[in-house]
Chain A
Amino acid sequence: MSSVQHSPDAALTLGTARDAHRIRPALWYTAALALLALLLPFLEGVPVIGWLASPFQRIQLTYGLVFSIAALAFNLLLGYTGLLSFGHAAFFGGAAYAAGLLVKYLHVYSMEGFLLAGLTSALVLAAVFGSVCVRYTRIFFSILTLALSQVLWALALKFFWITNGTDGLSIPTPTLLWGLVGTSGDKVRFLSFTYYYYVLVIFFVCVAVMGVIAASPFGKALQAIRDNEVRAQFVGIGVRRYRWYAFVISGAFTGVAGALFAPLNGLTTPDILHWTFSGKIVFMTVLGGFKSFIGPILGGIAYNYLETYVIKTTEYWQMLLGIILVALVLVMPRGIVGVFAWGSRREQRNR
């Protein structure tokens, strides 16, 4: 399995040869950003970046990190396997609803309980949806994921005695680390400090695990499938089985994001099961750049800021998102990462 050969054009599209010499600076940037994120709550008094460390901004960043996990998971399918899912809201929302139902029926208030329930439900959903969806590619894959996720949305909307319909399920502040960190104290402090760190650590874990998966022979096999399905089959990759694995892994990670989102938002409504939310996950990924590993991470964080600040300024934020998406597709298909790569290439040329 470890000897998957790429066709020359595949290597071109992956950009592996070109990206190799950029790995060291990229590592430095990442380390610096990670350190900044870790120290952020203590930087409130610092003059230049102090505003970024305010509780409000930290909660915004927490939202961004959660979206980043979802986009990163989504990109294992779009960027690495070449499958555009319009149904990832099912895993995100499904996990959030699992947490909500855990509170409602079993009176569990533990974050680990939420994560376990979210992960399990997303795994089961992805395994079932995946077994149907990976039979198809391209447009049919997209429509099928969309249709199946809409089933879940319709159920959440109509079975209001279980899910509270459009009102949604409320999710109280949970205990963390099996009850070691209690729920006492005010909510803003909890979300902007304790929970911020909790999400940050899980975010790092998710990025690391996803990085390992993407760089593994399995990840290379997915890219081989994306670039040329027939050739991948010829070198002995079980195409459909690998697609299913990718689908399940992607769904599970999205479920983690959904479970983290539930207490952060304090409410799960059918919105996060609707296909337009799937569309938002797609948007984040494309915004960041789906042809790179780091793109969706940037996209998730950037998307959240975009939504927060654009909603404030205009009622017609959807239109703005639409215009950005159209512009991205037409002139900037590599997203934010593409802009950075372009900049650094110019820099090198000048040197």
Chain B
Amino acid sequence: MDVLLAQLLNSLLYAAVLFLIAGGLSLIYGVMRIVNLAHGSLFALGAYVMAWGVSRVAGASGAEPAYLIVLLPVAAAAVGATGAVVEPLFLRPLYARAEEYQLLLTFGLLLILEDAMRYVWGATPLTVSPLWASFGSLHVLGATYPRYNVVVILLGLAAAILLWAFVFKTRFGVMLRATSQNRRMAAALGINVSAVYVQAFALGCVMAGLAGAVIVPIQGAVLGMGVDALILAFVVVVIGGLGSLEGALVGALIVGLVRTIAIQYFPELELAVLYLIAAVVLITRPAGLLGRA
């Protein structure tokens, strides 16, 4: 029972982080029709900024939960700012051209970002596990579970609700959806499409950065984490439906659950099973479970 509960919470934790990454990817695709291959690297950037910030502020010795509250938005905002620079500089010239060019360009950005992080923070992984430990652990139904992981799950939930409210209940959300449905019509109605694009791209990047920042106390910041995350985010959006936020949530839950089960019972096939699920969904429902074709 307690093992089962721990596993369930683990899959929720995983799903929360995946939702943040894949939600950002999906949001960007939904509005701008760009699949950003550098998205995973932006997630890694969030992780590195957070790890670097914590070690700067707290030093090697102690870390307190308060640091999390202060540094989380900083890391997320840093990644968002990066996005706000990247979009007008690199992506804007490409909207009129074939889709392949966008993939090529964002692949180039991925290569640049990966090495830029290696240049700044070195090849040794950064860890801030004291911060994770400082949260202590929780006892539920006979199971002992790290309290920090629960915080992450709640954070993922809060992000999902906030994002939903933002997209469906605010004025900016209306503009966002209008632009995603018909760019020219939105422009004709007086919406500043360029501004919406920058903001949407930055928002997607903030989500990726937040995911990176929040995962750091658990697993640290490692080179290559971005590329791994990108592939998993692809699996999530393909299952859920590219461009759909609800789809990203459902996809993240499915991937989180499947991965936890797979690690428990057939660890060799963990990744293969996920990719196969994605392939099967694409074949049977090309637009994803919740996507609109």
- Taking the closest CB of chain A, its distance from the CB of B82, in whole angstroms, is 15
Q: Could you say which of A136, A159, A322 contacts B108, with CB atoms under 8 Å apart? A: A322
B105/A329 in contact, CB under 8 A: yes
Q: How far is the CA of A47 from the CA of B262 in the complex (A)?
A: 62
Tier of interface size on chain B: 35 or more
Closest 5 CB pairs of A and B: A322-B111, A325-B108, A319-B115, A154-B271, A322-B112
Q: How many interface contacts (CB-CB < 8 Å) are there between A and B?
A: 120
Interfacial chain A residues near B93, Cβ < 8 Å: 330
Q: How far is the CA of A138 from the CA of B35 in the complex (A)?
A: 11
A264: CB under 8 A from chain B? no
**Binding site secondary structure of chain A:** helix
Interfacial chain B residues near A321, Cβ < 8 Å: 108, 111
For window 302-327 of A, CB contacts with B under 8 Å fall at 315-319, 321-326
B268/A158 in contact, CB under 8 A: yes
Q: How far is the CA of A147 from the CA of B283 in the complex (A)?
A: 12
B104: CB under 8 A from chain A? yes
A276: CB under 8 A from chain B? yes
For window 262-277 of A, CB contacts with B under 8 Å fall at 275-276
A 81-114 to B, binary, CB cutoff 8 A, 1 in contact else 0: 0101010000000000000000000000000000
Interfacial chain B residues near A135, Cβ < 8 Å: 283, 286
- Taking the closest CB of chain B, its distance from the CB of A286, in whole angstroms, is 6
Interfacial chain A residues near B118, Cβ < 8 Å: 315-316
User: Which A residues contact B (CB, under 8 angstroms)?
Assistant: 78, 82, 84, 86, 132, 135-136, 138-140, 142-144, 146-148, 150-151, 154-155, 157-159, 275-276, 279, 282-283, 286, 315-319, 321-326, 328-330, 333
Interfacial chain A residues near B234, Cβ < 8 Å: 143, 146-147
Q: Could you say which of A78, A315, A319 contacts B111, with CB atoms under 8 Å apart? A: A319
Could you list 28 examples of A-B contacts with CB < 8 Å? Answer: A78-B100, A86-B103, A132-B279, A132-B282, A135-B283, A140-B286, A142-B103, A143-B35, A146-B234, A148-B275, A150-B271, A151-B275, A151-B279, A154-B271, A154-B275, A158-B267, A279-B107, A282-B104, A317-B115, A319-B112, A319-B115, A319-B116, A322-B108, A322-B110, A322-B113, A322-B115, A325-B105, A329-B108
